[in-house]
Amino acid sequence: MDLEEKKISREEIFEGKVLHVVKDTVSLPDGGTATREILLHHGAVCIIPITDDGKVILERQFRYAVGDVLVEIPAGKLEPGEDPLECAKRELQEETGYSADEMIVIGDYYGSPALLREHITMYLARGLHKGKTHYDDDEFMEVFEMPLDDLIDDVMNNKIPDAKTQLCALKAREFLNREKSERR
Amino acid sequence: MDLEEKKISREEIFEGKVLHVVKDTVSLPDGGTATREILLHHGAVCIIPITDDGKVILERQFRYAVGDVLVEIPAGKLEPGEDPLECAKRELQEETGYSADEMIVIGDYYGSPALLREHITMYLARGLHKGKTHYDDDEFMEVFEMPLDDLIDDVMNNKIPDAKTQLCALKAREFLNREKSERR
């Protein structure tokens, strides 16, 4: 079955500083039509930085959209056309102060594929070197660290509401386990 | 440090069939102000249905927002005020035809906390019984199954772009492993 929906027309709804909302009319697989309200987005990166002794560098940050302080790994939006790796290095350095000898892609994801064209590349950062943080003017956060095993426990006990942090913690551990068993 | 940002005023931008966009002016922790463009949302559920012989029920569905056919676990939006468990049972039945003896909460998440107030509750469904599907008028999908271990391999090999499916596969396996070791 061809599941694809094809764009017939687009109505621009709102283009702000962050959100770009459009309403498209599409043709459906059965020949009918429907409207799709979606958010366009240039993409983003997130980084799980792990120290040589197995601790994850985390941030505590107020997220206005959800009305709460969340524990998250570092992350940031791509500028239009920006290379995800360059963005990941920059966000890691600005938000946590760390630079990394190794930046390993551990996958990518769509966080809300029914609504949002935000495509996020996930990096595992290793070989960390401490430097200075540099926040955006309207960005306030606390940086702290936690052993990866404790973070996994918090993920399983539902103490980490942020999807990328849950996902990268579980993925990073699986990646490290597979790497270890390949070396044997 | 008090990281909270407080709403000063709200501008309604767009309220469509699916998206509700507002632009709020907020006070920052340092006393300054900023604007926050966000999407309001009633929340959603997703369900990882696992058969008695360890296979996951999956869907292949075109996602217009990201322009591709994605492999996903069943999911759906809450109606305003709807109980997440009732919604999860309904979506599981409508999209896959299955009902479940057990619906276990394995956590919740915000898929894109910088932009989107979408809060998603994750269920593991077990003790499955096959029934009939019932799709929405503009919903087209193919249902298939895959062993959980193969799905985890696909997640690690970056063949599953959907965040909730990656996360629920890894979380479900960790949940089942922890349950097994508690029983010993």
B106 located within any domain: yes
Identify the residue whose tokens are 């079955």.
A1
CATH of the domain at B175: 3.90.79.10
Q: Return the pLDDT at B62.
A: 94
Cβ contact, residue pair A62, B3, below 8 Å: yes
B33 located within any domain: yes
Domain that holds residue A54: 44-183
Same domain? B36 vs B106: no
Same domain? B61 vs B146: yes
Q: Return the pLDDT at A170.
A: 98
Q: Return the pLDDT at A95.
A: 93
Same domain? A22 vs A71: no
Same domain? B107 vs B23: no
Task: Return per-residue pLDDT of chain A as tens, 184 residues.
Answer: 788 999 999 999 999 988 999 999 999 988 899 999 999 998 999 999 999 999 999 999 999 999 999 999 999 999 888 999 999 999 999 999 999 999 999 999 999 998 998 899 999 999 999 988 887 777 788 999 999 999 999 999 999 999 999 999 999 999 999 999 998 8
What is this model's ipTM?
0.93
Cβ contact, residue pair A19, B178, below 8 Å: no
Closest chain A residue to the Cα of B159, Cα to Cα: A107
Closest chain B residue to the Cα of A6, Cα to Cα: B64
Same domain? B109 vs B155: yes
Same domain? B23 vs B73: no
- Using the Cβ of A79 and the Cβ atoms of chain B, whether some distance falls under 8 Å is answered with no
Q: Return the pLDDT at B7.
A: 96
Q: Return the pLDDT at A140.
A: 82
Residues A62, A160, A123, CA angle at the centre, nearest 5°?
90
Both tokens assigned to B160: 């599953």
Provide the terminal-to-terminal Cα distance of chain B, rounded to the nearest Å.
44
Cβ contact, residue pair A64, B24, below 8 Å: yes
Same domain? A110 vs A156: yes
A1 located within any domain: no
B58 located within any domain: yes
Same domain? B177 vs B93: yes
Below-70 pLDDT ranges, chain B = none
Beta strands in chain B (DSSP E): 6-15, 20-27, 33-40, 44-49, 55-63, 68-72, 75-77, 98-110, 119-130, 141-147
Number of domains in chain B: 2
Q: Return the pLDDT at A137.
A: 72
- Using the Cβ of B32 and the Cβ atoms of chain A, whether some distance falls under 8 Å is answered with yes
- Of residues B3, B109, B141, nearest to A163 (C-beta): B109
Q: Is the pTM of this model over 0.90?
A: yes
B1 located within any domain: no
| Three state DSSP letters for A117-175 | CCEEEEEEEEEEEECCCCCCCCCCEEEEEEEHHHHHHHHHCCCCCEHHHHHHHHHHHHH
Q: Return the pLDDT at B139.
A: 75
Same domain? A50 vs A82: yes
Same domain? B104 vs B135: yes
Same domain? A18 vs A48: no
Alpha carbon B56 to its chain centroid, in Å, reads: 15
Same domain? B57 vs B36: no
Cβ contact, residue pair B1, A152, below 8 Å: no
